[in-house]
Structure 1
């Protein structure tokens, strides 16, 4: 029973009548009523496999009427307001029967970490230092880290209530508008599938660091075959593969941070202690970008935002396979919190160390080879006379690129599967293997992977940047959708008179954080290509890559809305009570207690 502003809502399934005991709290009495289903409200055919949801209003009657209704001095008449049908469970029937819950908490955490720790960390930090200086870069990543915190908490709270495949895409359909889910969903699919050839092209560049005599088509073929094999096997095996590569990245990050501290503090024989020397010379903690003075320093700080967003991209993917995750209502919120904390610590420590090791005026930071040669960690190690570091970093970045392509495959195929479940994509995309893999979605992804062969006739690094430019803004649009979903959930809770404390997982700061993330992401999206509007910096390709996604999403949204005539979901119709009761009755939804060695599981559990 839900107490709402307009009365009491009752839920019942496959019944011809409902006995409703209504407690009049202000009178301290109980009125019993029987609500029957007439044929125009629900029939046995309509209720087969469905839950009929009747919404009632309560009206006090006069004493005379009360005597007819059982003799209460004052009572309530329960009358139906409106009725609609919903699936029996929030999670679709196909999700429950066809998908396999093979992902554990450590898997989904590492999938997100594997997607976020890659070229942005190992290669991209140098360009950020060159653009904004050591302190400007640190503040830029700190600001985006705060946005990621808000986004992750919002995603965890909504996913704990609605643990569906497709994550925030399906959430938009439940909470806001099916047209928005259609537009955001296809944008995610497009971005994820285009990321696969971009990462494969990047991997080819990294391989050519050691040997550029082999035809790139050979490496492209090998990488595509490996990606397809990982994509079509049992999802638990995929989780183990990503777990291994993510752990490898974490070990490298920890290793280079420790190495950086040793170099900075003068631990290498014959090398002086650097300390914060490069925070003072040659430019100080900030770098002037485009303009002079304080305005130029601010523009440098703001220009780093795009790099920071690209670096953190992928963290939202951990909930894409919610229906394939064990105990998602407990595991996904916990993973959201831990992934944010770990990534933020890694990135902030890494950029702090880089700013101490390398001058913002070092020309090597702008190396366009796309290999380990441009890594600030490699530059610092080379200056310290440590020769083995370049190949080690290049090898791990190579695994990062391939791992990131696997993460994109998971995000794209599961989003496409979720779209097909709700009729936003052809139904054959819901076909799965006996192991629960949506193989038709994987087949479409393979078709996009063949775009990687473009690097055979063109420079592989050029092809990589083509694809990156086409997908960069999509990350911010996804974050905006996550924040907007959570804002709507909070509004629906208030409208229906439900306390947020009844949710499977809730944090008191999330309502404020979602507004902060929403406003910040909108501003970043609109200003992401601001440099092209400054004097002498107009670049058509940069303009298109920064802003193409905005009109594409708007056109798809408006077009679908006009064709299908969808409407915004009324706040009172959001099935929150149904989802809460489903969570309470979920046998998997029990708190997870660490046991034995799991208490020491700090990095991955």
Structure 2
């Protein structure tokens, strides 16, 4: 295996042409340090030759931008938002989503900076290998793989529930059709996935814009026979809801419960960079997608939360439930009250595309995470096999095998068992976000330790040295308090406890077990190969700044 700091031959260049003095100095500083890399199948480069030679860059900039949007908008917005209003009230829900929105923006900025420097398959899983500890990459990587493998049948089951709004055909028929469609997308050229997600993201955007405008019309009395509501429900029953307790403490707990629920509405935004090695010019396109997430959150989520809080009373009993059917959508309830009959089918149709989109996204994330693990020697070499059009088909086949768990939704008893499996990784989103923030913190610390200016990074924003710590601490607190309800009097629930906390010992156990077996150590800041990563970035033939057009369209393309 090539050494971590060993000079690499670059076609057409001699070492004197691409090794700068500071690179040589860093090599001299670190040559006496032990290697902290595990046994792996890569060639010593940050971006492995496996990725450069076997994967195909089929995702264009517009695909990446819209995949980011598709990951941020899902059934949690269309169906689950009413539950947040019922738990925290209109203002409590708004504050909860604002706080989590800031966390998500911080995570995206952290992910963008590290991914621009190291655009590798597996994203933050592989970053942890280089920036912190191979054991963390192993633990978080397999946690992501398992979570995605279980998420696919979960989303298929959710899709079947939505389809049954229109028909009572046996669920097994729809499970079969949806699995076949997912497999076709997964095994196809990566551009096929990009085009499908592009279309789905546009549908989601159009629906959000439509329901926001419709909500304003209803709220302002634009529907004949309907009174003007204004902020009536903010006054009665009030801006906050008392949750579990009473008084100020009860209102705070309502806000906190909304915040923990909001995290899972945004689950999936971290998968943006999972297929970085299959993107065109990822060092520019990934940061561009990441830094625009704040605008998306403001436009879509916060506008939707405000509108729903104006349309539906937090005391409305129809908002109760798990948000798994279109009847519990706050938009459907408001439209039904206003006498508009077509809205349920429209919302249900877009929610169906959201569920299938989430299934495709989990398929992509799971297979690319597994491929990345195989590159680093954390998974069998067989998972490195790819088709001639660059798809890791062995990874796809393993995930397809797990997809058949969706047939458990045909039986009520089996479905209960299946959702216990889903509960095992319900906290996986927060574990992934914590890892992303930690990777970025380690990167900045290594830059400072080695005397390298952050300005040399392909993309850097000075605020990230504060925002990453904010996201890191916030995610840990939310993870540890996410199941606080089960510890209150009379609210113990084994399923909720498992959902909130079992993932923590699973990840810690995998991390400790790997360290015990492989004897890995936390990589010293001085040994993190920053210069090697910078050298690869500076010699990347695709690392060319995108020239902006001066037309009016370039000023209007805030979404992509």
Place the TM-score, normalised by the shorter chain, in its bin.
Answer: over 0.9
1:257–1:349 CA contact under 8 A, matched in 2: yes
- 2:113 counterpart residue number: 157
Task: Please report how far the alpha carbon of residue 250 of structure 1 lies from its aligned counterpart in structure 2 after TM superposition.
Answer: 0.7
- 1:200 counterpart residue number: 156
- The equivalent position to 1:122 in structure 2, one of 78, 91, 112, is 78
Q: Do the aligned partners of residues 280 and 226 (structure 1) sit closer, same or farther apart at CA in structure 2, a change above 3 Å counting? A: same
- The equivalent position to 2:220 in structure 1, one of 242, 261, 265, is 265
- In structure 1, distance between residues paired with 2:53 and 2:399: 24
- 2:306 counterpart residue number: 352
* Higher share in helix: 2
RMSD: 2.6
- In structure 2, distance between residues paired with 1:603 and 1:459: 47
Is 1:559 the counterpart of 2:559? The answer is no
Alignment of 1:191-340 (within 5 A): 191-212=147-168, 214-282=169-237, 284-340=238-294
Q: Do the aligned partners of residues 366 and 10 (structure 1) sit closer, same or farther apart at CA in structure 2, a change above 3 Å counting? A: closer
- In structure 1, distance between residues paired with 2:476 and 2:325: 33
- In structure 2, distance between residues paired with 1:10 and 1:460: 52
Task: Please report how far the alpha carbon of residue 115 of structure 1 lies from its aligned counterpart in structure 2 after TM superposition.
Answer: 2.6
Q: Is the partner of 2:292 in helix, strand or coil?
A: helix
Q: Which shows bigger deviation, 99-108 or 425-434?
A: 99-108
1:99–1:436 CA contact under 8 A, matched in 2: yes
Q: Do the aligned partners of residues 16 and 335 (structure 1) sit closer, same or farther apart at CA in structure 2, a change above 3 Å counting? A: closer
- In structure 2, distance between residues paired with 1:351 and 1:369: 15
Q: Which runs of 5+ in 1 are unaligned?
A: 1-8, 25-50, 58-78
- 1:108 counterpart residue number: 64
Q: Is the partner of 1:504 in helix, strand or coil?
A: coil
Q: Is the partner of 1:56 in helix, strand or coil?
A: helix
- In structure 2, distance between residues paired with 1:145 and 1:228: 33
1:196–1:409 CA contact under 8 A, matched in 2: yes
2:83–2:321 CA contact under 8 A, matched in 1: no
- 1:373 counterpart residue number: 327
Is 1:458 the counterpart of 2:423? The answer is no
Matched positions, count: 548
Cα deviation per residue 1:48-86 (whole Å; 9 max; x = unaligned)?
A: xxx9997436xxxxxxxxxxxxxxxxxxxxx97558699
Q: Is the partner of 2:28 in helix, strand or coil?
A: strand
Task: Please report how far the alpha carbon of residue 88 of structure 1 lies from its aligned counterpart in structure 2 after TM superposition.
Answer: 5.8
- In structure 2, distance between residues paired with 1:210 and 1:13: 60
Cα deviation per residue 1:235-274 (whole Å; 9 max; x = unaligned)?
A: 0111001110111011001100010011011111111110
Cα deviation per residue 1:538-571 (whole Å; 9 max; x = unaligned)?
A: 0111101110100000101100110011111111
Task: Please report how far the alpha carbon of residue 369 of structure 1 lies from its aligned counterpart in structure 2 after TM superposition.
Answer: 7.0
- In structure 2, distance between residues paired with 1:567 and 1:485: 16
- The equivalent position to 1:131 in structure 2, one of 69, 77, 87, is 87
Task: Please report how far the alpha carbon of residue 285 of structure 1 lies from its aligned counterpart in structure 2 after TM superposition.
Answer: 0.2
- In structure 1, distance between residues paired with 2:31 and 2:500: 51
Cα deviation per residue 1:296-343 (whole Å; 9 max; x = unaligned)?
A: 000000011221001111111000000001001000011111234213
Task: Please report how far the alpha carbon of residue 468 of structure 1 lies from its aligned counterpart in structure 2 after TM superposition.
Answer: 4.7
- 1:397 counterpart residue number: 351
Task: Please report how far the alpha carbon of residue 531 of structure 1 lies from its aligned counterpart in structure 2 after TM superposition.
Answer: 0.2
2:408–2:415 CA contact under 8 A, matched in 1: no
- 2:139 counterpart residue number: 183
TM-score (normalizing by structure 2): 0.93
Taking CA–CA contacts closer than 8 Å with sequence separation of 6 or more, which of the two structures ends up with the larger relative contact order?
Answer: 2
Alignment of 1:43-82 (within 5 A): 55-56=27-28, 81=32
